[in-house]
Structure 1
Amino acid sequence: MKITHFTLLIAFLLASSMNAQNQLPWRKRAKMAADFEKSGDLYRAAVYYRGVYEEKKDKPEYSFKAGRCFLDLRDYENAVKSLEVVKDDNNNPKYDKPGYKYALALKQTGAANKAKEAFNSFLLSYQGDDKELYREFVENELKGCNYALKAQQYTNPAVTIEHLSPKVNSAKTEFAPIPFANDVLYFSSTIKGVAKIHRTVKQADGWVRPQVPSIFVGKMERTHFGNGSFTQDGNRFYFTQCDIIDGKPQCAIYLMENLGGGQWSAPTILPDYINPDDANTTHPVVVTSDNQEILYFASNRKGGKGGLDLWYTTRPVNSNIKSFTLPKNLGRNVNSIGDEISPFYHKPTGTLYFSSNGRVSAGGLDIFKSKGEKLQWEVAQNLGFPVNSAADDLYYTISEAHGGGYLVSNRPFEPERSTTTDDDIFYFGIENIELAISGAIRDSDYPERGLLKDLNIKLFQKTNLGDEELIDERILAVGEYEFKNLEPNTSYIISIEKENFQVASFPFTTGSQSENISNDVELIARTDIVLPPRVDPQDIRYYIMAAHYNSNSNAYQLPVDPIDPNLGIEYTGDTLKIFYELDAIAGLGDYRKLYYDEDGIPQPYHEPQIVKQEDIKELPIFPGPYPPSPIAPPSVVYKIQVSAVRKFRADKYEVLKEIGRLSTEKISSGLKRILVVSKETNEENIDGFKRKSDALNALSYVLNNSGFEYAFVIKYVDGERVGEGFRGWNEEEGLDTDTKPDGRIPKDVYEGF
């Protein structure tokens, strides 16, 4: 059993280290540990560092070094023991944030409450220049701890997890399962010391012992190969080849093609604009859609959000390998400041599954999902338990042919395994739990008249973060509804609307057993409708609240009662309905006031915020002024993005009027970008700064004199945004540095294969 092998290995190494104490001076052993670490032999390095500390208790730096190695090895328990010695020395220059590393290790042992205490303790004591950055990291990790503590709430009882047999899983790492037809499974393994793709078949008595398929033998130009994806027709295979340099993989994506007769071509590396020399490119998954191949992959290439990001490129199905489009980043709804890896696209549901350590996770890497394609994605959602665990969970893949799917994890799974230092492949099955809700909709005043007609009904799901996500919307000709295929142990809200009736909504939560929930609804009629002279909704709004109330500083005081304040006449019909809409919006702000934004949309009034002088003094100082740079070509301008908001508060941006005009851009999900442009339009009548230096000088003012600490300059060419933005004179205009546009830096990247 692999855990026995692991335990004996550690015991042997520890014993060897203790024996060495009697044979070698501690300085010699410390030098040996450093050499082991440099060569990538982290186990021996950790054990030797630990041995030195056991002899020299006055040198806790060796306990820190041991803990650092154990954490890199994902030996969380030994990492906790070693880092605990120095967890409070967060401002000691000998160490690199030991308290933060200690808290991370605790979290991945599953000790969420202890990890919360450790994260808070670290933040209270740490005084480094990057404290605000780590405050953000800690806040995210605390959310992850709270999420883990609510595991029961986020557990899907329909999912069962099974550890694959020892014929597949070895004492080494197994990863990247590729389910194929007829119970065939391809996967990658390091059982022989190097990563190779293996093939096995599930028979009545279990899995056949895996073999490396002959199509790969003798064809590889690099030492390691693995994590691949077949095209829908099975005739092309995208996969990764890697070299290990200084203990870290350097990977690129290759393609093999079926030549017929059981023969496959030699691997061909994809173009260098997909596989740049200065980046890791790996984890390909290919989807065929509309006679086009869409290749999703992970890469830490320049221009990403942080660490490894997910990207995509496309080509026509029958074109050559040089026909791929330039890769594009999947965007912020998928990618984060951390790592996003091992994508899998489930075509029947249009859902992307991937792993991330930059989002709210129960452990390190958790598995998430997002519906969409190419550049259009919903906000990623955590899959919950038991798919995720306190350890790392990745390589999620679904196979209808195999009746479930596979994932890879380093979680303990008694009695098969207790270690966390290597990855194994797990099978997950989904029990057929049928959950639905249905009901009839009638008039509460006249239920005997039967079902209402012509209704709008919406189904919302409460997400892990407390949001209400619209997942289904229908127009009902007759007042009968039914929603099937609901998720178990999940909270939903149903909202029903009909003209001349009050909106009705109700929450419900599904259980863990098959059930058809029945819930009839009765709608309450509004006041009898009398058509007002103005039938256009916007005209009615302007009738109630004049159009000149168009800023936060010029807001309208909405009456408490639905009565025309000038005529003393009660609002009725559609006018009454829109009054209540305005009433609801005004209630979101201060003093029941509201105003129209530049698009004529009513917005709640907010009491103006006053920036205290002492707060301004604490803001970071950014350089400037910059000398005049050349005037950009006619098609190029620069703008300053200060925020992206759902609801615009004009008072927050008053300070920016000192340097330019405010401009807005609509983006997805109802968000607006708030931009600063030059006070006057240029000769081409285009908003923006014509000199890069003018934009950077204006940015310096924003960063030094306002609360918009994440502002950055963005370049526009022919009205289109170029790159991700920049904040410094020497930065390229596509954000090609390690500093992100919001001022943060990436976490350590995932170093797996």
Structure 2
Amino acid sequence: MKTNELKKQLKGALRANDHYSQIDFLEELTERKPENLKFKYELARAYDESRNYQRALEEYSKVFYANSEKYAMAIYHMGRIMKMREQYKLATLYFNQFIDKHNHSKESKHYKKLVKAELEGCKMGMEKSMNAPKTEIFPLKGNVNRSNIEFSPHIVDYRTLWYVSLPSDEIVFLESDSMPRRRIYVAHEKEGNWVVDNMLDHPSNDGKEHIGSFTLSQDGQRMYFTLCKPNMQNKMICKIYLSRWENKEWSEPEILPEEIHQSKHTYTHPTVGLSSKPDREIIYFVSDKQGGKGGYDIWYTRYRISKHRFDKARNAGKKINTIGDEIAPSFDFESNKLYFSSNGRPGIGGFDLFEAIGERTKWMYPAKNAGKEINSSYDDLYYKPFPKNRRRAIMVSNREGSIALKHPHCCDDLFEVNWKQMLDIEYNLDFKDLASNKALKNVDIVVTARDSPEGDRIVLQRIRTDSMGRVNFKLEPGIDYKLIVESDMHFNRKLDYSTVGVKESKTTTETIKLKPIPNEEIIIPNIYYPFDKSYLTPEAMIAIDTSIYEILVENPTLIVELSSHTDSKGSEKYNQHLSQQRAQSVMNYLAKKGIKRKRMKARGYGESKPIAPNANPDGSDNPKGRAKNRRTTFRVIGELDMEVFYED
């Protein structure tokens, strides 16, 4: 083949991200033109992308020492590879050399941020732990792992696993129509071994496109998955599709709308997360679309289930995304954690797993490294805890122990994680009616926490009591939580639980009693007015702040009537007018404090509703009775048709 034809073939392989074909073409080109450093650098990159790190290191080294000024990027990648080999001191040396060589380029600011994260990761890698290992990690036992790749696991139950695989023990060129395709497979655990049964019966498994990855909704009724194929420029492009479980079978795939996809960009790695709003689920995904923080970012769209409508795609924000790449998100419904992998944050090598608590752009803290307990110096992806058993998980990695196709660490396999030590903070709460002591079913508990001591309160999850009024949940350590309890015909309550400083696993069992909302009026004590006046005294304001105001804040759907009453001194008409003004004063004060006027109705009853005699039986004045009649009250007259504690 002529050199020009080789170059043409190389361009096609570069567009298709076909690293093995790139290697074949570049090895021939470098042999023909050994003085061409550009070909050698591209060969090093192809080896690197195919995870043949030894050969990549050799080629990077040749290029860098031949022209260190022009190919300063080579020593940056040499640092990355040394870091994966856990040679952190040498990696640190290479990264610092890179900064010296690359300091004046247009991209120096960009790479300084990456190198800062890499250097912090080297420090992490060199830290020695004196404690016993908390986890045991090993390749999944059985015949699930093959010589090619396995990824995107979904744990159906503790003995059933769905995952994506390329079932070949040979190198597969993705643009070839005759080669196997990535498909979804089903495996079952039998006597400690995971045994592949068959391909999943799903329409996506029947087409010509590769399955990129997939995820299921919490109720298992919707599957989101990616189908990938080359575009006109031979670049592999993935799009996200939806399939529904209807009439005991999966429906034909429908592509997500244009609000999600942009042309020329890829969309992959979907995962479904909890939404704090009812009738919604959040689909997180990975894309290189415009408007991101770096290369590949995590984005999200919110699906309105009953309306079958997707919101516009938005970036998950800087607490998740970096100038590097963020990939393979996975949401754990029980802990409300988003796990994902990043090479733009401090890690111990390759893609490290990170975790964040929250949703959309509202996260408790910048994503935290998941730790050496589960991360290796190579690529670690798709962390999936087992349902109802977080001490066991499945993840994807090319670490030691993965099956080699052509060279070590080339291919991702499924690994099992067993936690020997884990901090479990569990709560068992029983909810009962204060008056009758009966169990309260369908009580909603909104779990919230602040993203900083003075920051916004973030809704983390919403849980509901069962038919016995019980709820069980776990909280993460190191967080001050506030639980907002909502129940029909009961006053809301706020419960404070702190896990700050908790060092050992514990289970808390508690009975919570909710006060029923009465039909009759409730007296607001200690509200006094100057004689013949309607304005509030400072003492009256304090009484309002510590009574009705707190109730309205904690129960943001209640509509109340604010009532004022007088004794019988003065004319009936005058007392009616004065009481109306006084009720209006209370409403105006509450409105100034942020209570919406549509939730309040001011009404003066004058002397028409006494609760005690204004006069004694002999006709003499009854000061104690008149004092009881001069009162301000409220009663619940309705509820707003709205949801609370949720933001668009």
Q: Normalised by the size of structure 1, how large is the TM-score? A: 0.51
The answer as to whether partners of 2:274 and 2:336 remain within 8 angstroms in 1 is no
Aligned-partner residue type, residue 115 of structure 2: V
**Secondary structure of residue in 1 paired with 2:54:** helix
> Which position in structure 2 is the counterpart of 1:331?
317
Q: 1:30-41 to 2 correspondence within 5 Å?
A: 34=10, 37-38=13-14, 40-41=17-18
> Which position in structure 2 is the counterpart of 1:229?
215
Instruction: Please point out which of 223, 237, 242 is paired with 1:255.
Output: 242
Alignment of 1:429 with 2:418, yes or no, is yes
Q: 1:290-689 to 2 correspondence within 5 Å?
A: 290-320=278-308, 323-377=309-363, 378-400=365-387, 404-413=392-401, 419-433=408-422
Alignment of 1:179 with 2:155, yes or no, is yes
Alignment of 1:167 with 2:143, yes or no, is yes
Q: How many residues align?
A: 424
Aligned-partner residue type, residue 421 of structure 1: C
Aligned-partner residue type, residue 134 of structure 1: Y
- Deviation, 1:98, is 1.9
**Secondary structure of residue in 2 paired with 1:214:** coil
CA 1:184 to 1:89, structure 2 compared with 1: closer, same or farther past 3 Å?
same
Cα distance in 1 between the residues matched to 2:190 and 2:125: 37
The answer as to whether partners of 1:353 and 1:396 remain within 8 angstroms in 2 is yes
- Deviation, 1:123, is 1.8
CA 1:90 to 1:332, structure 2 compared with 1: closer, same or farther past 3 Å?
farther
Cα distance in 1 between the residues matched to 2:322 and 2:404: 34
The answer as to whether partners of 2:141 and 2:192 remain within 8 angstroms in 1 is no
Cα distance in 2 between the residues matched to 1:248 and 1:151: 43
The answer as to whether partners of 1:223 and 1:241 remain within 8 angstroms in 2 is yes
CA 1:355 to 1:515, structure 2 compared with 1: closer, same or farther past 3 Å?
closer
RMSD: 3.8
For each residue in 1:135-159, what CA deviation from the matched residue of structure 2 results, as whole angstroms up to 9, or x when unmatched?
A: 3322222112222222637x88222
Cα distance in 1 between the residues matched to 2:32 and 2:286: 44
Alignment of 1:136 with 2:113, yes or no, is yes
**Secondary structure of residue in 1 paired with 2:143:** coil
> Which position in structure 2 is the counterpart of 1:276?
262
The answer as to whether partners of 2:423 and 2:505 remain within 8 angstroms in 1 is yes
The answer as to whether partners of 1:29 and 1:52 remain within 8 angstroms in 2 is no
Q: 1:115-126 to 2 correspondence within 5 Å?
A: 115-126=91-102
CA 1:216 to 1:65, structure 2 compared with 1: closer, same or farther past 3 Å?
same
Aligned-partner residue type, residue 286 of structure 1: V
Unaligned runs of at least 5 residues, structure 1: 1-23, 437-469, 472-483, 495-506, 517-753
CA 1:65 to 1:96, structure 2 compared with 1: closer, same or farther past 3 Å?
farther
- Deviation, 1:252, is 1.2
For each residue in 1:561-586, what CA deviation from the matched residue of structure 2 results, as whole angstroms up to 9, or x when unmatched?
A: xxxxxxxxxxxxxxxxxxxxxxxxxx
- Deviation, 1:310, is 1.7
The answer as to whether partners of 2:300 and 2:313 remain within 8 angstroms in 1 is yes
Cα distance in 2 between the residues matched to 1:374 and 1:186: 26
Alignment of 1:239 with 2:225, yes or no, is yes
The answer as to whether partners of 2:134 and 2:373 remain within 8 angstroms in 1 is no
**Secondary structure of residue in 2 paired with 1:273:** coil
Q: 1:684-699 to 2 correspondence within 5 Å?
A: none
The answer as to whether partners of 2:212 and 2:268 remain within 8 angstroms in 1 is no
Cα distance in 2 between the residues matched to 1:358 and 1:86: 25
**Secondary structure of residue in 2 paired with 1:97:** helix
The answer as to whether partners of 1:87 and 1:102 remain within 8 angstroms in 2 is no
**Secondary structure of residue in 1 paired with 2:111:** helix
The answer as to whether partners of 1:91 and 1:128 remain within 8 angstroms in 2 is no
The answer as to whether partners of 1:288 and 1:294 remain within 8 angstroms in 2 is yes
> Which position in structure 2 is the counterpart of 1:627?
none
**Secondary structure of residue in 1 paired with 2:199:** coil
- Deviation, 1:435, is 8.6
- Deviation, 1:226, is 3.9
CA 1:434 to 1:223, structure 2 compared with 1: closer, same or farther past 3 Å?
closer
Aligned-partner residue type, residue 133 of structure 1: H
CA 1:269 to 1:169, structure 2 compared with 1: closer, same or farther past 3 Å?
same
Bigger mean CA offset, 341-350 vs 419-428: 341-350
CA 1:32 to 1:129, structure 2 compared with 1: closer, same or farther past 3 Å?
closer
**Secondary structure of residue in 2 paired with 1:274:** coil
Cα distance in 2 between the residues matched to 1:204 and 1:247: 45
Q: Normalised by the size of structure 2, how large is the TM-score? A: 0.58
The answer as to whether partners of 1:90 and 1:97 remain within 8 angstroms in 2 is no
Aligned-partner residue type, residue 113 of structure 2: E
For each residue in 1:13-53, what CA deviation from the matched residue of structure 2 results, as whole angstroms up to 9, or x when unmatched?
A: xxxxxxxxxxx99x699759846844654335435645765
Cα distance in 2 between the residues matched to 1:33 and 1:219: 30
For each residue in 1:516-559, what CA deviation from the matched residue of structure 2 results, as whole angstroms up to 9, or x when unmatched?
A: 9xxxxxxxxxxxxxxxxxxxxxxxxxxxxxxxxxxxxxxxxxxx
- Deviation, 1:309, is 1.7
> Which position in structure 2 is the counterpart of 1:542?
none
Cα distance in 2 between the residues matched to 1:51 and 1:434: 55
Cα distance in 2 between the residues matched to 1:316 and 1:31: 49
- Deviation, 1:89, is 5.0
CA 1:32 to 1:164, structure 2 compared with 1: closer, same or farther past 3 Å?
farther
For each residue in 1:632-686, what CA deviation from the matched residue of structure 2 results, as whole angstroms up to 9, or x when unmatched?
A: xxxxxxxxxxxxxxxxxxxxxxxxxxxxxxxxxxxxxxxxxxxxxxxxxxxxxxx
CA 1:61 to 1:256, structure 2 compared with 1: closer, same or farther past 3 Å?
closer
Aligned-partner residue type, residue 425 of structure 1: L
Bigger mean CA offset, 30-39 vs 83-92: 30-39
The answer as to whether partners of 2:199 and 2:205 remain within 8 angstroms in 1 is no
- Deviation, 1:177, is 0.3
The answer as to whether partners of 1:231 and 1:288 remain within 8 angstroms in 2 is no
Alignment of 1:158 with 2:134, yes or no, is yes
